[in-house]
Chains A and B, each alone.
Chain A
Amino acid sequence: MTADPILYVEDREEDVFLLRYAFQEAGIANPMRVVSDGQQAVEYLSGEGKFGDRTAFPLPSLMLLDLQLPLKMGLEVLEWVRQQPSFKSLIVIILSSSIYESDIRRAYELGANAFLVKPSDSNQLADMCQALKHFWFVHNQPASVHSAPAMIASSRYLERR
């Protein structure tokens, strides 16, 4: 049984690469599903179009969401997510290079679980992923049924360690 994936909404391939690298460094074993724009993020979550196969595109236990996205901006995606009854408790973490207070405030108002600023240093990114793993996959008690597999994944990782 594979762990529930982490859905990373990011249009910049370089950032996707860096996060994958950092996940490895941090020992996060959850598969990373990547969609490159806001529209796809919505489609993925709603299982529309090419994301209709839930086996190929299982619901994520956690979503990392960039703000500057093509087609649909990150905050719009977030807003949509929180409007869906089934995703009210989905863990959504904003991962952005923005340090705008208005972005940050708006994100929390729309129901973001956390707001992380992308470090410009790969080591810091690795540290951040490490922290992310500990907080969300070890210490955190998720509410949603979709999050149960993630806990398993994390516990598996812990066992593996």
Chain B
Amino acid sequence: MASISHRDAGFLKTKPHSRSGRATRAPSISPAGIEPGALLAAIVESAEDAIFSKDLNGIITSWNKRAESMFGYSAEEIIGQPVLVIIPFELVGEELTILTRIRNGERIQHYETVRLRKDGTRIDVSLTISPIRDRSGNVVGSSKIARDITQQKLDQKERNENAAFLETLVENSPDCIEVLDLDTNLISINAGGRKLLEIEDAALFLRHSWLDRWRGKERQDAEAAVSEAKLGGTGRFQAFGTTRKGTARWWDIIVSPLLDAQGRPIRLLAISRDISESEERFRQLAENIPQLAWMADAHGWIFWYNKRWFEYTGTTLDQVQGWGWQVVHDPEHLERVSASFKSALATGQPWEDTFPLRGNDGKYRWFLSRAFPIRDHRGHIARWFGTNTDITELRKVQTALADREAVLRTVTNDARVGLVMVNKERRYVFANQTYAEILGLPNPDIVGKRVPDLLADVYDQVKPHLDRAFAGERVSYELRVPSQAGNEERIYEVVYEPRIHNSNEPYVVVVIVDITQRQKAQEILEHTVAERTATLQQTIAELEGMSYSLSHDMRAPLRTIRSFTQIVLAESGDALAPDQKQMLEKTISSAGRLDRLIKDVLVYSRVSRQPVTLGSIDVEKLIQQIISERAELQPPNAEVIIQTPLPPVHGHEAYLTQCLTNILDNGVKFVRPGTRPHIRIWSEPTNGQVRLWFADNGIGIPKEAKDRVFGIFQRIHDDKTYPGTGIGLAIVRRAAERMGGSVGVESEPGHGSRFWLQLGRGDKE
């Protein structure tokens, strides 16, 4: 099936059937000295391309092995056949053109076309057609090398499809995808980018520097990202920028290189993602936290503060951005704060510090400030987020607490009170120094030791009380430590306060005070009190003796004076002159008055002093009885009307009689001459008590004298008009008070007086 003659360059003339294909393949490894024609034939036979030849009439004259497998025709089948059998019908014209060009001695290279296989399928081929010339140089035929480019075609198609796919992808991406040259001039921008940047005519941007879009700090970030990309890496930053139409957006930007075959950057790709929404959400969050908040870039350059910051400090972003915040710092703390913040920036560790910040009002408040780094996808710090929490009040509380703790510590250690805490195992878990001191313990370091060991001598005294305390009872007792060598007995007041510990472990707080001295002082005091009481009682006894002699020894001579004068006067007859008799009568009345005075003072002192037993008294009956015994309270001398019934009162009969008698006597005594005394008595309930009213038609009491009338020896009238000792109402008040009651008067001069006596309610019958 060999289609080519191996022997010489003129193999195309050789009849192909002279040699078998197999035979041609066998000598492919020819020893040296093999003739050149055979070597050529071997090469042709083993070529990867189909190689065949045809004469000027288009008749196939040779056909190699690859041509057999490519077109499905064996050499025997095809040699002698016109080449048209492998040309699709519609391409026949093409072959004619090729033949014409060959005849003209033209060589055709890499001509891509389609040919037919024996089975009718088509095959993409690339043809290289060369004219074959005879020795004289006349074109006698042509050789064709056909390469199967079906695969190549498929690859190309796929490539084209991929490109279209990618283009669609890029076009439809919501991100802004821009291709830049190495000078960052814009080469292309996708639809998403045009939309995000709100560009209607992209041409306006083309050939313009992408970097120029950024200002200030963002410009620095952009340049850094570009530099990184040019070095083959990926630059990333977040930035704030406005669109063509002025819409504010937050961008997350990645700049990466497009590399050539040698890995050198030839273009830059800038992908900008609109993160305004998430940034906005973040900022909103930061706006709404109760603290002051701020954000800094990786270098600590603060580019954003929340509203609270501005409200508190009264500053503007221009003043405090970057490192401008130092203006609201207390110079005393600034250096330290800056150092600690810079240290955090350098190490990337979260930062915390406490310092004062000056408020809008010029006053400093204390803030706990924290900042933590926010890292990008590669773990690099993208920015810092910081807060300042006002802890002025907290500090105040803490300071107050610390002060109080210091005071407590001082108190517990300095006070002469032993203070310990004992746990369930009867071990000391806390002890102040005083405890050991007042108990005379040799070593004050007792925490961890057991009570039974430390107080072995008195533990039998202590134990039952301590047990009760651990049962939840508050215990208070006196601990006596018997006298030991050189020491006298000591007495302690001990209090056990049961408590539940945080960890639910019960413990008892023990407070112990050395009361030995106090006890001694108490004894001395009691002794003194006893002595003084005795003295007092003696004095009282003496006073009583004096009262007794007042009533007896002083009244006796008075009685004599009076009675003797009366007898002298009665028996004098005409022996005495009228003025002499008058003098004797004066003597008698004076002596009588003095006697009454003495009696009243005695009554008053007795009412003041004597123990009194109270009971229920029928006051109505008592008043009636008093009236019936005293003519001056009865018609025609006077009229006393009781508005019955009067409820029983709680009192003492003798005292109540004193009260009622004195009030009624006053009522009938203090009237204008010629007026018939009239007293009306009624009762009214008052606060669970009974108030008895006595309204008279007397002369009344001037306002300024109202309070005085109940004082002893207080008289508001001269003795001639209204004689009296000035003790009567004092006795009433004292008696009322002794009965747990009270007395008072309402009066207007000229309109009578309304005395009232208020006492507890008696038993109802």
Do A and B originate from a single complex?
A: yes
Do A18 and B553 touch (CB < 8 A)? no
Do B553 and A120 touch (CB < 8 A)? no
**Chain B residues whose C-beta falls within 8 Å of the C-beta of A18 in the assembled complex:** 559-560, 563-564, 567
Using an 8 Å CB-CB cutoff, how does the interface string of B544-556 with A read, 1 for contact, 0 for none? 0000100111011
**Chain B residues whose C-beta falls within 8 Å of the C-beta of A15 in the assembled complex:** 556, 559-560
Interface: A123 (CB within 8 A):
yes
Do A100 and B563 touch (CB < 8 A)? no
Do A98 and B567 touch (CB < 8 A)? no
Do B552 and A68 touch (CB < 8 A)? yes
Q: A97-B556, A120-B558, A120-B591 are in contact. Are A14 and B551 (CB under 8 A)?
A: no
Do B564 and A99 touch (CB < 8 A)? no
CA–CA, A123 and B565, complex, Å: 11
Interface: A82 (CB within 8 A):
no
Interface: A113 (CB within 8 A):
no
Do B548 and A100 touch (CB < 8 A)? yes
A12 (CB) vs chain B CBs: closest residue:
B556
**Chain A residues whose C-beta falls within 8 Å of the C-beta of B551 in the assembled complex:** 97-100
Main secondary structure of the interface of A (DSSP, over half): loop
CA–CA, A97 and B591, complex, Å: 15
B562 (CB) vs chain A CBs: closest residue:
A120
Interface: B595 (CB within 8 A):
yes
**Chain A residues whose C-beta falls within 8 Å of the C-beta of B567 in the assembled complex:** 18, 21, 122
Do B548 and A118 touch (CB < 8 A)? no
Q: What are 29 contact pairs spanning A and B, CB under 8 A? A: A14-B556, A14-B564, A15-B556, A15-B559, A18-B563, A67-B552, A68-B552, A97-B551, A97-B552, A97-B555, A97-B556, A98-B551, A99-B599, A99-B602, A100-B548, A100-B551, A101-B610, A119-B559, A120-B558, A120-B562, A120-B591, A120-B595, A121-B563, A122-B562, A122-B564, A122-B566, A122-B567, A123-B566, A125-B563
Residue in B559, B563, B592, B610 whose beta carbon sits within 8 Å of that of A97 in the complex = B559
Interface: A154 (CB within 8 A):
no
CA–CA, A127 and B560, complex, Å: 17
State how many angstroms separate the Cβ of A46 from the closest Cβ of chain B: 27
CA–CA, A120 and B552, complex, Å: 11
Do A96 and B552 touch (CB < 8 A)? yes
State how many angstroms separate the Cβ of A75 from the closest Cβ of chain B: 13
Do A120 and B559 touch (CB < 8 A)? yes
CA–CA, A67 and B567, complex, Å: 25
Using an 8 Å CB-CB cutoff, how does the interface string of A70-110 with B read, 1 for contact, 0 for none? 00000000000000000000000000111111000000000
Q: Give the A-B pair count, Cβ closer than 8 A.
A: 57
CA–CA, A120 and B564, complex, Å: 10
Q: A98-B548, A123-B566 are in contact. Are A68 and B553 (CB under 8 A)?
A: yes
Which interface class (under 10, 10 to 19, 20 to 34, 35 or more) fits A?
20 to 34
Q: Can you list the 4 inter-chain pairs with the closest CB atoms, starting with the nearest?
A: A122-B563, A14-B560, A122-B566, A120-B559
State how many angstroms separate the Cβ of B429 from the closest Cβ of chain A: 66
B654 (CB) vs chain A CBs: closest residue:
A101
CA–CA, A14 and B553, complex, Å: 13
**Chain A residues whose C-beta falls within 8 Å of the C-beta of B602 in the assembled complex:** 99
Within 8 A of B (CB), among A1-57: 12, 14-15, 18, 21
**Chain B residues whose C-beta falls within 8 Å of the C-beta of A68 in the assembled complex:** 552-553
A14 (CB) vs chain B CBs: closest residue:
B560
B588 (CB) vs chain A CBs: closest residue:
A121
Do B555 and A120 touch (CB < 8 A)? yes
**Chain A residues whose C-beta falls within 8 Å of the C-beta of B610 in the assembled complex:** 101
CA–CA, A120 and B596, complex, Å: 10
CA–CA, A36 and B442, complex, Å: 81
**Chain A residues whose C-beta falls within 8 Å of the C-beta of B570 in the assembled complex:** 122
CA–CA, A18 and B565, complex, Å: 11
**Chain A residues whose C-beta falls within 8 Å of the C-beta of B595 in the assembled complex:** 120
CA–CA, A96 and B606, complex, Å: 18
A22 (CB) vs chain B CBs: closest residue:
B563
CA–CA, A18 and B595, complex, Å: 17
CA–CA, A100 and B563, complex, Å: 22
**Chain B residues whose C-beta falls within 8 Å of the C-beta of A118 in the assembled complex:** 556, 559
State how many angstroms separate the Cβ of A26 from the closest Cβ of chain B: 14
**Chain A residues whose C-beta falls within 8 Å of the C-beta of B606 in the assembled complex:** 101
CA–CA, A12 and B557, complex, Å: 10
Within 8 A of A (CB), among B595-641: 595, 599, 602, 606, 610
State how many angstroms separate the Cβ of A8 from the closest Cβ of chain B: 15
**Chain B residues whose C-beta falls within 8 Å of the C-beta of A96 in the assembled complex:** 552
State how many angstroms separate the Cβ of A95 from the closest Cβ of chain B: 12
**Chain A residues whose C-beta falls within 8 Å of the C-beta of B558 in the assembled complex:** 120
State how many angstroms separate the Cβ of A41 from the closest Cβ of chain B: 18
CA–CA, A118 and B602, complex, Å: 16
**Chain A residues whose C-beta falls within 8 Å of the C-beta of B553 in the assembled complex:** 68
Do A98 and B566 touch (CB < 8 A)? no
CA–CA, A18 and B568, complex, Å: 12
CA–CA, A117 and B177, complex, Å: 134
| Contacts A18-B567, A68-B553, A120-B562 known; 8 new A-B pairs at CB < 8 A | A12-B560, A15-B556, A96-B552, A97-B556, A97-B559, A98-B551, A121-B562, A122-B566
State how many angstroms separate the Cβ of A17 from the closest Cβ of chain B: 8
CA–CA, A97 and B567, complex, Å: 20
**Chain B residues whose C-beta falls within 8 Å of the C-beta of A101 in the assembled complex:** 606, 610
Give the interface centre of A14, A101, A118, A120 by most chain B CB atoms within 10 Å: A120
State how many angstroms separate the Cβ of A50 from the closest Cβ of chain B: 27
State how many angstroms separate the Cβ of B584 from the closest Cβ of chain A: 12
Give the interface centre of A98, A119, A121 by most chain B CB atoms within 10 Å: A121
CA–CA, A118 and B567, complex, Å: 16
State how many angstroms separate the Cβ of B223 from the closest Cβ of chain A: 119
State how many angstroms separate the Cβ of A115 from the closest Cβ of chain B: 14
**Chain B residues whose C-beta falls within 8 Å of the C-beta of A119 in the assembled complex:** 559
State how many angstroms separate the Cβ of A102 from the closest Cβ of chain B: 9
B555 (CB) vs chain A CBs: closest residue:
A97
State how many angstroms separate the Cβ of B114 from the closest Cβ of chain A: 157
State how many angstroms separate the Cβ of A127 from the closest Cβ of chain B: 13
**Chain B residues whose C-beta falls within 8 Å of the C-beta of A100 in the assembled complex:** 548, 551
B565 (CB) vs chain A CBs: closest residue:
A122
Using an 8 Å CB-CB cutoff, how does the interface string of B335-378 with A read, 1 for contact, 0 for none? 00000000000000000000000000000000000000000000
A67 (CB) vs chain B CBs: closest residue:
B552
CA–CA, A160 and B243, complex, Å: 153
State how many angstroms separate the Cβ of A14 from the closest Cβ of chain B: 4
CA–CA, A71 and B564, complex, Å: 28
Within 8 A of A (CB), among B283-299: none
Within 8 A of A (CB), among B555-590: 555-556, 558-560, 562-564, 566-567, 570
**Chain A residues whose C-beta falls within 8 Å of the C-beta of B556 in the assembled complex:** 12, 14-15, 97, 118
Do B563 and A120 touch (CB < 8 A)? yes
CA–CA, A94 and B559, complex, Å: 17
State how many angstroms separate the Cβ of B564 from the closest Cβ of chain A: 7
Give the interface centre of A21, A67, A122 by most chain B CB atoms within 10 Å: A122
CA–CA, A119 and B606, complex, Å: 20
**Chain B residues whose C-beta falls within 8 Å of the C-beta of A97 in the assembled complex:** 551-552, 555-556, 559
CA–CA, A12 and B602, complex, Å: 23
**Chain A residues whose C-beta falls within 8 Å of the C-beta of B552 in the assembled complex:** 67-68, 96-98
CA–CA, A15 and B595, complex, Å: 16
CA–CA, A68 and B559, complex, Å: 15
CA–CA, A120 and B558, complex, Å: 7
**Chain B residues whose C-beta falls within 8 Å of the C-beta of A123 in the assembled complex:** 566
Do B548 and A121 touch (CB < 8 A)? no
**Chain A residues whose C-beta falls within 8 Å of the C-beta of B548 in the assembled complex:** 98, 100
State how many angstroms separate the Cβ of B570 from the closest Cβ of chain A: 8
Within 8 A of A (CB), among B518-563: 548, 551-553, 555-556, 558-560, 562-563
